[in-house]
Chain A
């Protein structure tokens, strides 16, 4: 495997079977597990904007920077603070965080599941306590990113090498025709995020231990005037904008408890912002 450190994003064109590397906290384990393969690793740390300036966040900003920056809305700061471990937050970039693969053990162990192009979701009949309660019919995997839920609730937008879009539009539910969970095209790189300031926001998280665990349920809420937007982590194959009621959840037998937790945390988040 080759490591490239190009001086411009333009140099990326034509690199075949390449993977982008920022913090490495996601890509390196996936490579090691054989879940992704690449001939070339492209270090993009010198190419993608760093730092935080007003409402603009460079895609290479680390979670550790974000969690302590007063310019950053509370929901995003808390989502960063409650994610992973300090070591991982020191390395992990916000751009990479948004592109995390699911922690579904069947997917991680390379079972021939639907997300891998197969014809069944093993979690449906198997162990699925960490799995989805929404949009889980085709694939019951849960999206692991606390940060993504916070950005969706905050109505954040992003700029890539090709377009501008709402963070929400980065994600798509996998279907029989297309198993991908993001809309990012090959060669497209996330550059910057813009997070419009809310009047108030918060992030609450339920996990299996006090620190360093992916969300069983994460609840991000942002209020602007009288309108509060709520998005959830760990409850669907993608970050989940809660547009209707939690009564519309379709939990598996082993994930019904997540609905109860989500109800409690959504109630608390709304109360905190009122």
Chain B
């Protein structure tokens, strides 16, 4: 029976109370360990289609007469359009339409960052549209840009009021601490750089707006457009069958969708609006830079007594203030904590969520500071972390639904033990070492999400849910869950996703939530179908029903079908649902040239039940590779005078190549969270990127004694840290 409930919902650390309609989710969890399908490695059900180029991404969507749009963006970091004349562009060859400030949501004459969308042109070809943009006559009033985050804080140019989270008495605990570590860390701005750039194709079919878009949230785009254009929600059809990555940057509709929709309305043609790679580097979102000041107090045995942090997020012209303080608040048991976070409003492109926003940045700072404490106390870093393990949510008694971080630490031991052998391979110019870092993150998912299933007389099933597989392999996971519940081979399950007209609501693919949110709905739908099949069997065969196979039973159906539906139930009340893990990195540092080489990273993560071990290890590898780029080479650079973005190409903005990828050892604890849904599964999309930077930085300290203070750890930062360490040891020697 459907039930109306009020429950707590969390996305990436933001909690809210929501009303929900759910079906009773009375299914027992499967026993731990591999099942027939679930828990065994499965290749992707759409892998061949993707590899063969048959998968239709938004970039592949094409309609007869489709026009191509190009967006005029502010070349200035801060400017106002005093006058704009679209007529010369409209008169250019091939041009069919042009719109300016106010003609579509997000097109504005007030430009708060370079790349802010102002106007758009559509033409028969993209080249014609782009050429016509240059003919748009704009008179700019160029304004002074605000680019420095500390200056922004001083001038109270803030995204929102500063946020302070406190427990216990931090100041007193700090005064009483045996040992205090103070350290400042900085992280850079990095770019998502999804393979598929941000894009939409829009066309009007009668009074229905069809939106083909590269998105992480089919239903969010539908709602956003319906509201902005004042359309009934079901007059907006959003389609995203295949998706070429988003990493948090594609949670919203985006100006490209509104531009395509408006130009399609005006011209009567389908219109594509796709960002170029250069636009992607400027105006498609980013992980904001941070400044993190830590003050940590501890007893002589390493027990943390005071954790303090002041955080500055350089958010940009808009966006939200991610939880850079999250790890400080959540990772360790410590009774006295004080964290204040500022979100600097700057004339720079707005930040967007990026794979564990805030926690990637905050874990770098906190876990490096913790190793500084370990060094000061001459304690083993692994032992220090064990001593400060939180058995329940720090600062309260709220239990975890499931936590196996101690088991992660135990499994990390053999990797951690390698440090003696690794160090011994150092030479006079190349120093080797091992470092570790822990990880906490959300990833439990939550309601609502729904799935339908239909089972035919051939004993094959089709799962229908309007979720999106953002490239992580969740579509395969859904097939596995349905196959497991129905007792049929996974190859006999088709999964239809990504169409708001042809499936029920499914949640946003963010916060590592797709599998833990939608997976239980799929299992519930399969169970619903299975119940009906069992009823049918009893009617036909009575007590002997069990002796007949599914195929035999269903074969009499002909064109009749069994239809099941399921929904995601609530998360356990009064419990905190989180993911945990630890990574151990091995590095080599050339102390004469500052070159850092990451040789190996062992990743041990606790994400509840693992549905597809192959898909999960792919996520671990992808997260670590993205983390290596974040740690060593990626940085968006800005001209400090004009506020213009300088790194706009893939040779200037340096993502890791395959030659930069270390050996990756992926171990998943794979213990179902008994409190969480009928699956006991959490998400693995984000956890693996979280500890990478700190594990590498701590390995560098182990190898060289140098404290790196900022990301990326370029040659200059490495050489600076080495010089500082030499200076320090000289000072220490002089003092003796």
Contacts and interface: CB of A to CB of B under 8 A. Distances in A.
Interface of A: 85, 103, 105-106, 108-109, 111, 122, 125-127, 129, 206, 208-214, 216, 254, 256-257, 260-261, 264-265, 268
B716 A257 contact: yes
B659 A210 contact: yes
B660 interface: yes
Contacts of B551: none
5 contacts: A103-B651, A105-B646, A111-B639, A211-B660, A264-B593
Contact-size category for B: 20 to 34
A129 B716 contact: yes
B640 A126 contact: yes
B235 interface: no
B639 A127 contact: yes
B633 interface: yes
A212 B650 CA distance: 10
A232 to B, nearest CB: 14
Contact of B637 (A103, A127, A213, A264): A127
B147 to A, nearest CB: 12
B539 interface: no
A216 B714 CA distance: 11
Given A257-B719, A264-B592, A209 B654 contact: yes
B594 A261 contact: yes
B76 interface: no
Contacts of B658: 211
Interface in B90-117: none
- Per DSSP, chain B at the interface is loop
Interface in B644-678: 644, 646-649, 651-652, 654, 656-660
Contacts of B592: 260-261, 264, 268
Contact of A105 (B633, B637, B716, B719): B637
Nearest to A216: B715
Contacts of A212: 651, 657
Given A109-B644, A126-B639, A127-B640, A103 B654 contact: no
Contacts of B716: 129, 254, 256-257
Most buried by B among A108, A129, A210: A210
B366 to A, nearest CB: 27
Nearest to B658: A211
Contacts of B651: 103, 212-214
Of all A-B residue pairs in the complex, the 5 with the closest CB atoms, nearest first, are A264-B592, A210-B659, A257-B716, A105-B646, A211-B659
Given A106-B646, A122-B639, A216-B715, A208 B654 contact: yes
Given A105-B652, A208-B654, A127 B638 contact: yes
Contact of B660 (A111, A125, A210, A265): A210
A208 B633 contact: yes
Interface string B571-586: 0000000000000000
Contact of B641 (A125, A209, A216): A125
Contacts of B641: 122, 125-126
B632 interface: yes
Contacts of B593: 206, 260-261, 264-265
Interface string B706-735: 000000001110011000000000000000
Contact of B646 (A109, A265, A268): A109
Contacts of A254: 716
Interface string B661-702: 000000000000000000000000000000000000000000
Contacts of A216: 715
Given A109-B648, A206-B715, A257-B719, 19 more contacts: A105-B652, A106-B639, A108-B649, A125-B641, A126-B640, A126-B641, A127-B637, A127-B638, A127-B646, A208-B633, A209-B656, A210-B657, A212-B651, A213-B651, A213-B654, A216-B715, A256-B716, A257-B716, A261-B592
A268 B714 CA distance: 21
A48 to B, nearest CB: 26
A125 B640 CA distance: 8
B632 A209 contact: yes
Nearest to A129: B716
A260 B595 CA distance: 12
Contact of A260 (B597, B632, B719): B719
